[in-house]
């Protein structure tokens, strides 16, 4: 009920179920574990501060103990319940793992391979790699996926919270990939 209340954006219910667990003698670490999982699973990148806040609240509990430690627990509960929600990280992880299972032997593209030996350089390792920091806009138009999965879109940002900004950035990069060039933007 606690996790589902957090996911359902109901701080009143989440606080109630948190208090019920505390009053029932539940180890606060169980509540923190559930909340940290929820921050990654249900808030995700819609609010990237949710996960560090949940971890910091657990650390505050370790520093304070009861009864003061219940305050960061309640603060975390309210924050997670009122944060924008997204499960895009869960979906992206599942899609990427599925692709990795489907193509376990897909080779790393030659231009992405390090070439610490003369033989590796002779074999073309690292040839034509573009270091993004040295390019206009800090972005290189180059392929990072193996040929077998080229063009895959594992991560699809949602339209809530911080993911709106991520979507804009991904669209900007994709425009440059499609054009085959980078601008000064």
152 vs 90: CA distance, rounded Å? 16
Q: Do 6 and 38 form a contact (C-beta atoms < 8 A)?
A: yes
* Domain covering 2-82 in this structure, CATH number: 1.20.272.10
For the beta carbon of residue 57, count every other beta carbon within 10 angstroms. 25
Tens digits of residue pLDDT in 39-95:
999 999 999 999 999 999 999 999 999 999 999 999 999 999 999 999 999 999 999
Domain ranges of the chain: 2-82, 106-179
As a whole number, mean pLDDT of residues 10-24 equals: 98
Tens digits of residue pLDDT in 119-136:
999 999 999 999 999 998
For the beta carbon of residue 27, count every other beta carbon within 10 angstroms. 10
Full DSSP string of 94-117: HHHHHHHHHSTTPPPPGGGS---S
Predicted pLDDT at 184 = 53
Please write down the HEC assignment for all residues of 10-79. Answer: CHHHHHHHHHHHHHCCCCHHHHHHHHHHHHHHHHHHHCCCHHHHHHHHHHHHHHHCCCCCHHHHHHHHHH
Helix (H) or strand (E) holding 140: none
**Structure token digits, residue 79:** 């924050």
87 vs 127: CA distance, rounded Å? 38
- One of 1.10.3710.10, 1.10.10.10, 3.40.50.2300, 2.30.40.10 is the CATH number of 106-179, namely 1.10.3710.10
In 3D space, the residue among 94, 98, 119 whose CA is nearest the CA of residue 44 turns out to be 94
Q: What is the pTM of this model?
A: 0.87
């Amino acid at each position: 009920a606690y996790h589902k209340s957090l996911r359902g954006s109901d701080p009143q219910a989440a606080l109630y179920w948190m208090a019920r667990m505390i009053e029932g003698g539940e180890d606060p670490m169980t509540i923190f574990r559930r909340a940290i999982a929820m921050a990654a699973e249900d808030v995700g990148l819609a609010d990237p501060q949710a996960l560090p806040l949940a971890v910091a609240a657990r650390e505050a509990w370790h520093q304070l103990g009861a009864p003061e430690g219940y305050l960061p627990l309640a603060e975390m509960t309210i924050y997670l319940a009122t944060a924008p929600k997204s499960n895009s990280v869960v979906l992206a992880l599942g899609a990427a793992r599925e692709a990795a299972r489907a193509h376990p032997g897909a080779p790393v593209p030659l231009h992405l391979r390090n070439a610490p030996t003369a033989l590796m350089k002779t074999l073309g390792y690292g040839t034509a790699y573009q270091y993004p920091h040295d390019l206009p806009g800090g972005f290189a138009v180059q392929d990072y996926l193996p040929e077998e999965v080229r063009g895959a879109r594992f991560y699809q940002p949602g339209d809530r919270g911080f993911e709106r900004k991520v979507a804009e950035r991904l669209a900007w990069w994709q425009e440059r990939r499609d054009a085959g060039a980078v601008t000064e933007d």
